[in-house]
Structure 1
């Protein structure tokens, strides 16, 4: 018989499921977190839960926040189970489950006044974010786009903001006006220099209507850069059923993930921070080498296997890694084209890291989907693939395999797999990208002409030729034969 997860049933958990390890009444709030999705609960929330269980930093409980309709749904589900989460950690030979309880509340996304009031509370010393790579209003060059309609709307009415950055800025204004020191803003998204990007978004919004406020933000608010890593698939009815069947717990939104986890963070928290180093977080003066390694090898690797996997009608990531051509493509691409333009990382063997990433991708228990990896390519390609292209071109190195990644993305955006199965819209810019992909079947430049994605690469002859050759090969001979050609240096 299974139990429904809630505060009142914590004492009734099956022996195979461990509890939080602390009493909720001993925790007080210190963090507001925007974007309470699966990754946050598998990563930041898990680290904090472990820390609280040690009796440490219990004044840094989490208050959830969000602005989208999906946030409202998440809040509804979590509120019904007292903001508890079942975390299921999986490897090929083992599966464990435990309940996390670091979240104390989740502010209604339809109540911005309550959220701003909470942000202005001196008790809140850190505001963190996981809002996905596409949520930062960046243009093709990676600069903040102050002309975006949502930013323009917030700038015109900062007292009633609609974006995450508007809400954070409103909270900072309230603190400044009350003489309360500003909180630190900690980005946990996969973006190069994510702290700087977040600062540019908040200060950039302020710049639209108050240059003095923008200067104050840049001079007084800390934005530590960080690198986060844990493969965390989306939750479906499959995961809910597995949890209930295997562990006897009913959870409306459990989180399944791998056992591996990593967090590298710059130590810049003027109002204090949790003692995260006691639960495995690495604090460094400069996170850039670590984040570049992860973004290009892991996230870039995800993009490399996603689109051939999708075109070949492969459902799960581990199944893609079981396809010898895809696994070999990933290994060759990473070793020969990506790693050579990744700077050295302290105490890290990049080839060993590459092998570890491949092993993690192949974990059959995770059941991460190819569809999830294909999501939001228009935001992910410029962050995970194209920077390696730019670096290689700058030193005269070939970009054959990297161009193939984007060519396969283009073929995917045509809207049908090679078997003819339809591909559902999977990008916020899907209609425009699909139109360009259809035109690119006859004219590859039609895809590269999306300058907001490809930037100056659209005018680089070497890249254009490599992309065109790869795309024509995919259309003429199919994904499988194209991968063989690349592996045999015939592309």
Structure 2
């Protein structure tokens, strides 16, 4: 760190202090968001909040960060300007399969107060009906976490706050329900202790963090004179809204911009239906228009108009705004963020795992508007592009249900795929049932795409 240029801020606190947070899913988003908030707390003199990161699927982040003692740079990008600092909040990265015992011991330690998650929607291992898929859950965080919680109970250690930072509707309530399903099936005598001693606050996180490219890393190396394999790049905007429901101590994240509130619901709904819903529309439609990045798709007048329609006319009217929450201003801010050419946010990255995302991003809005007698032309357009994507005929599909979705296409064909996908018994369950008018609208767009 002593060799870094003078303008690069670096941690000056004791990085050998106690690990108070274990984080499952230590990807780029967490390193640009929760870890940055925690780094600010540590820099302000708070003690005991170093993060132990856990990689769930591969050792790549561990291989990037552990040789660097967990240090990495965070670069905030705006047009024509990069601002880089070193984040010191991550002490170590462990790998779920390889380091099971060490991870469980970290969580079972009295030093640990909070377990956080960014495992993506599919990381919660939900079956199509929303229940816990036990076979998939065996490979997830559930066995390690349950083992550690049982150890805390047996040793008389206090409970934990389990804080999801993923894009799930009710991202505190859902993990609570799923954890209880796992506990009931595997360690039923833990249920009462878990319910009495642990909490699962809802939260909403918002920051655009593209995957770092080799070109990004090369350019940063040229500017710093040092190589950072774990570097992350992000926008200036950052928002974190957390329900005030912790089982024990927490960092003073609120001193550094986080909002601790009684109810996260309106913020969560706006993020999922407006930001994430618009992102998914840009991803599938933008790829079909030949674009690679969000800002390129936003420059297309047709797609820009659809995004604005989705946010302001379709999604926003379904949200019961909280006190002081201005949804029109939020939509305008989102447009400005999507226009940022410095981020290079790849559409194919956003398009991943759509079967796990479109329910809360699109279908909830459709269901609410349908009950009011309204249709949603922009979202139906997005669904046509998503169906085109998951057919598997136009590009590789990264989705946990990729084979199932392709099978529905093969069996139902273009004329029946909408009802087969979203109707009763289909693989995409929701409260929305497509009407004949919806089916005709989607089919018409599909025909033009195919």
Cross-structure match for 1:452: 427
Cross-structure match for 1:394: 371
Structure 2: segments with no counterpart, 5+ residues: none
Match of 1:29 among 8, 19, 41: 19
Match of 2:236 among 250, 259, 273: 259
Match of 1:335 among 305, 312, 319: 312
SS of corresponding position for 1:467:
helix
Cα distance in 1, alignment partners of residues 377 and 292 from structure 2: 26
Match of 1:274 among 228, 240, 251: 251
1:309 deviates by 0.3
Q: Is the 8 A contact 2:172 2:200 kept in 1?
A: yes
Cα distance in 1, alignment partners of residues 56 and 434 from structure 2: 42
Cross-structure match for 2:398: 426
Cross-structure match for 1:442: 415
Q: Is the 8 A contact 2:274 2:310 kept in 1?
A: no
SS of corresponding position for 1:122:
coil
**What is the TM-score normalised by the length of structure 1?**
0.87
Cα distance in 2, alignment partners of residues 455 and 100 from structure 1: 40
Assess, with a 3 A threshold, how the Cα gap between structure 1 residues 79 and 225 changes in structure 2: closer, same or farther.
same
Cross-structure match for 1:324: 301
Cα shift readout 1:118-142 (whole Å, capped 9, x = no counterpart): 211101111111100111122345x
Cross-structure match for 2:75: 88
After the TM superposition, list the runs of 4 or more consecutive aligned residues in structure 1 that deviate by more than 4 angstroms: none
Cα distance in 2, alignment partners of residues 407 and 216 from structure 1: 47
Cross-structure match for 2:219: 242
Cα distance in 1, alignment partners of residues 187 and 65 from structure 2: 38
1:456 deviates by 5.0
Q: Is the 8 A contact 1:140 1:382 kept in 2?
A: no
Q: Is 1:62 matched with 2:41?
A: no
1:286 deviates by 0.8
Cα distance in 2, alignment partners of residues 461 and 111 from structure 1: 46
Cross-structure match for 2:66: 79
Cα distance in 2, alignment partners of residues 139 and 112 from structure 1: 25
Q: Is the 8 A contact 2:285 2:303 kept in 1?
A: yes
Q: Is the 8 A contact 1:83 1:103 kept in 2?
A: yes
Length, aligned pairs only? 446
Assess, with a 3 A threshold, how the Cα gap between structure 1 residues 281 and 409 changes in structure 2: closer, same or farther.
same
Cross-structure match for 1:137: 125
Match of 2:5 among 6, 14, 17: 14
Q: Is the 8 A contact 1:440 1:446 kept in 2?
A: no
1:62 deviates by 0.5
Cα shift readout 1:370-418 (whole Å, capped 9, x = no counterpart): 10111111001112111111111122222332222111100122234xx
Assess, with a 3 A threshold, how the Cα gap between structure 1 residues 92 and 407 changes in structure 2: closer, same or farther.
same
Cross-structure match for 1:173: 150
Taking the TM superposition and a 5 Å limit, the aligned residue runs for 1:182-221 are: 182-221=159-198
Q: Is the 8 A contact 1:266 1:284 kept in 2?
A: yes
Q: Is the 8 A contact 2:355 2:399 kept in 1?
A: yes
1:231 deviates by 0.3
Cα distance in 2, alignment partners of residues 225 and 453 from structure 1: 24
Cross-structure match for 2:441: 469
Assess, with a 3 A threshold, how the Cα gap between structure 1 residues 31 and 473 changes in structure 2: closer, same or farther.
closer
SS of corresponding position for 1:171:
helix
1:263 deviates by 0.4
Cα distance in 1, alignment partners of residues 111 and 151 from structure 2: 14
Q: Is the 8 A contact 2:164 2:203 kept in 1?
A: yes
Match of 1:366 among 336, 339, 343: 343
1:17 deviates by 2.2
Q: Is 1:410 matched with 2:387?
A: yes
Q: Is the 8 A contact 1:168 1:202 kept in 2?
A: no
Cα distance in 2, alignment partners of residues 76 and 28 from structure 1: 22
SS of corresponding position for 2:314:
helix
Q: Is the 8 A contact 2:153 2:193 kept in 1?
A: no
Cα distance in 2, alignment partners of residues 362 and 301 from structure 1: 13
1:446 deviates by 3.3
Cross-structure match for 2:86: 99
State which drifts further: 306-315 or 431-440: 431-440
Q: Is the 8 A contact 1:408 1:471 kept in 2?
A: no
SS of corresponding position for 1:17:
coil
Assess, with a 3 A threshold, how the Cα gap between structure 1 residues 240 and 17 changes in structure 2: closer, same or farther.
same
Q: Is 1:150 matched with 2:123?
A: no
Structure 1: segments with no counterpart, 5+ residues: 1-9, 155-161, 417-421, 480-491
1:303 deviates by 0.9
**What is the TM-score normalised by the length of structure 2?**
0.94
